[in-house]
Each structure stands twice: as C-alpha cells, then as structure tokens.
Amino acid sequence: MKTQPIIKNDNLKAIYRAVCRNKAISRARLAKELGLSKPTISLLVDELIRERFLRESSDAGEQNTRTGRRPTYLVPQEGVHLIAVAHWKSEGRWIDFINAGTGKFVEHVMIEDSSGNGCADCSILPELTRRTFDEACSRRSSGKKPKERILGLCIVLEGMLDPERKRFVSTPLGISWEEGEKILLDTENLFRDLCVGIFVDTACTGYGEMITQHLEERDFAYINMGEGIGASLVLHGKMLGGASGAATQLGHICLDPDGPKCRCGGYGCFEALSGEYALYERYREKMPPEFRDALTRLTYADIAAHAELGEQWADEAISEIADNFAKAVRNLITLFCPELIIIGGDVTVLGQRFMDRVEENLNRLDFLFMASKVKTVLGGETDLLVDIGAAGYMTDHYISLADPYRPGLHIG
C-alpha cells in the first residue's frame, strides 16, 4: 500500500509533468486532467511554486478563455533546477546541463583528461566526470546564475547494466564486467553528495520518445540502429528492465545461424549483419573499387548517398538492411506486440526507401494478425531525446519533489 508521503510525491510529480507537458495550464484544468480536487491541487501547486519548480504567469500562450478575465496560468520555472547528463560513449564523453522538467538545453561541456584530448582510459571516467562537473558548476555559480541548483546527475553509457550486482559491461567502450564494477564503485564514492542515476543510452532515448510523443500509457518498442543495435520495450508506459538495458538484446537476435561472427561471440546476429560496424565487411566486395579503397568503414549515410546517385549495390544494401530489420521485428511481434515501433539512430538517414521496404515485409505477415495493428515510424533526433529521456526518467523514478536534493546512487 502506498503511504501518504509517496502519494503526495506521486501527485507533485503528476502536476509537474502535466505543467511541463502543457507548457501553460490553469489550476482548474489541472484538477480536471489529473482527477484531483481543487484544494489538493492548490496545496501542492503552492509547494511547487515555493520550491521554484513552477511559477505563475498571465500569459496563456495559445490557451485563451472566452470569459474575458485573464486567469493565472502555471508554467514551468526554468533556470533553477538543472539536471546534468554525462555521456560515456565511444565517440566521445561530455556533460549536458539541461532544465529539469522541460528538458531544455543549457550547456554542453566536454569531459577531458589533463592533456585536453578527451580520455582514452575509461577506468578514469568517474574522476574526470567529477572534475568536469565541479568546474562547470563553479563556473556557472560564480557567474550570474546564483539561483541554479543541480537536482541530479545522470550517467548515460553504451552497454548493459546489472543493477543487482552493481556492475556493467560495454563492448564499445572496451569495459569488462570487472572493470565496470570498479567504475561504478568509484562513481559512488566520488558522488556521495548527489543523486546519481546510471542508465543505458537506448533506454534513455526510448524514454525521451515516450515523453516527447506523449506515449505514457502506450505499448511501444524503440529500436536504435547505429554502430550496434539496441531496443527498449515499453508496456503500459513502463520500460521493461528500467533504464538498465538488461531486459532485451534485440541486436543479438539470431537472423542467420550461418552468418558472420558477432561481437557477442554468436553467429548471424542482427547487428553482425546490419549494425553500422558490420557494413564495411558486408558490402566491401559490392562497392565500386575506387570508393572501397578510400574507406576503412562504411556508414548508413554513405549507403544513403550512393543510393541517391542511383548505384545498385547501395539500393540492394538498403533492401537487405530493411529485410533484416523486418525479420527482427517479426520475431519481436511474436513475443510482444507493441502498437508502435519507433526506429531511431543513424539508420534513419536511409529514409523512405528503408521504410517502404520494411512496410512491404511486414504487410506480408498475413498469418500474424497482430502485425496489422503495428505502426512503424521514424524517431526524432537522438542527441536531444537521450538528454530529455535521461532527465525525465531520473525525475520520474529517483527524485522526490517533496525532498528533491536527497543523494543516492541508482543503477538502471
């Protein structure tokens, strides 16, 4: 049973979320939307205004009323409560500071070692993140932002988390389970004064889609195809496995047992066939030699550009990537039938050709009546979504608006 403080915190968050989602909303409409009494709304809203999560405004934006009287609207307070999102990715490491609630971007800071060259050694990431975080915070507070406070830090990484044993593994970052365990321990020791969440990037991007597309009650799958392939599955608005990335490994579903060896040790995995890292090996013999000789890797964007030039090998590559995607989705639909499948990541540059081929494939699944209700769409801009998703997940799951600055380490 939920205790009084938990119910209060849930209601505070529901109000905060609804105001951020609507951008401007009256108390009366808020009460109606959330099914809470006006006195309850009033009490909780006053607390959120006092804590500077919300403020009042007479500017309704587009929400005019017909009464002629100018009512007071509630709007999110910006520039006070920030969330820092640290990205530990193979292509680079950085921290984005964003507004809690709205996810609006504030500042981008690179995480670098003393040589200023980024860091090659991932085992020192906790120290470097702490130093970058402290420097950025003190620079902001010594400037003209004395009201700012950091609600929490999200660390978003490429890999898979094991919340029970407090460890993670990351092939792209070259971190083993043992190293991942030590890195999490160091992180916990270095950030004892802060609420810290360690999350997986695909889960955050999926959560970002859920927030920005208002999919809170829906069943959907977010599939990210980039260097590797990952997914997050959302059932009635709940992400399976939380933000640990441990509930599904769709990139390693076997599509061809006789296929090439995968980074996981298996053969013919979806990502070993159609993940970006596998493309060069897969299509090198088919590319024109003058193009092949100038490359060491091949991206989805390269394939899209060559297909635009009318080169047949590139067209065939797009078809094959779409066919493999459709095979993976077909397997997914047999296990868990979402209403919506969002495709995100670098693969989205393949655009309409890719989508048409996927559609064609899925339409052939007549015997799977479930497939007919699945809609497949392209997702939004990954870099924005991952920040919004990480901060939103953190606020929804680990921050108490009744006691917002309580420290703690949360994995997944």
Q: Can you give the binding site for Zn ion, defined by CB under 5 A? A: 252, 262, 264, 266, 269
Residue type present at position 361: N
Instruction: Give min distance, CB of 269 to Zn ion, in A.
Output: 3
Instruction: Give min distance, CB of 253 to Zn ion, in A.
Output: 8
Please identify, using beta-carbon distances, which residue of 42 and 249 lies nearer to Zn ion: 249
DSSP per-residue letters across 111-140: ---TTSS--S-GGGHHHHHHHHHHHHHHHH
* Contact assessment for residue 184 and residue 317, using Cβ atoms and an 8 Å cutoff: no
335 CB contacts (<8 Å, ≥6 apart)?
Answer: none
Instruction: Give min distance, CB of 271 to Zn ion, in A.
Output: 6
Residue 92: half-sphere exposure toward Cβ, Cα within 13 Å: 10
Please identify, using beta-carbon distances, which residue of 252 and 306 lies nearer to Zn ion: 252
DSSP 3-state of 24: coil
The widest CA-to-CA distance across the chain, in whole angstroms, is 73
DSSP 3-state of 356: helix
Q: Among candidates 105, 169, 109, which has minimal Cα distance to 134?
A: 109
Instruction: Give min distance, CB of 230 to Zn ion, in A.
Output: 12
Instruction: Give min distance, CB of 157 to Zn ion, in A.
Output: 19
Please identify, using beta-carbon distances, which residue of 13 and 252 lies nearer to Zn ion: 252
Instruction: Give min distance, CB of 94 to Zn ion, in A.
Output: 28
Instruction: Give min distance, CB of 174 to Zn ion, in A.
Output: 17
Q: Give the C-alpha separation, 280 to 292, whole Å.
A: 9
* Contact assessment for residue 196 and residue 152, using Cβ atoms and an 8 Å cutoff: yes
Please identify, using beta-carbon distances, which residue of 252 and 357 lies nearer to Zn ion: 252
Instruction: Give min distance, CB of 364 to Zn ion, in A.
Output: 26
Instruction: Give min distance, CB of 89 to Zn ion, in A.
Output: 20
Please identify, using beta-carbon distances, which residue of 266 and 380 lies nearer to Zn ion: 266
Please identify, using beta-carbon distances, which residue of 269 and 298 lies nearer to Zn ion: 269
Please identify, using beta-carbon distances, which residue of 168 and 270 lies nearer to Zn ion: 270
Q: Say if strands 195-200 and 149-157 run parallel, antiparallel, or are unpaired.
A: parallel
Alpha-carbon radius of gyration of the chain:
23
Please identify, using beta-carbon distances, which residue of 249 and 400 lies nearer to Zn ion: 249
Please identify, using beta-carbon distances, which residue of 31 and 250 lies nearer to Zn ion: 250
Instruction: Give min distance, CB of 265 to Zn ion, in A.
Output: 7
Q: ∠ CA 75-195-246 to the nearest 5 degrees?
A: 100
253 CB contacts (<8 Å, ≥6 apart)?
Answer: 269, 270, 328, 331, 332
DSSP per-residue letters across 143-186: TT-TT-EEEEEEEEESSEEETTTTEEEBTTTTB-HHHHHHHHHH
Quickly list H helices, 170-278. 177-190, 201-212, 270-274
Q: Give the C-alpha separation, 404 to 393, whole Å.
A: 15
Please identify, using beta-carbon distances, which residue of 123 and 176 lies nearer to Zn ion: 176
Q: How many beta carbons lie within 10 A of that of residue 68, not counting itself?
A: 6
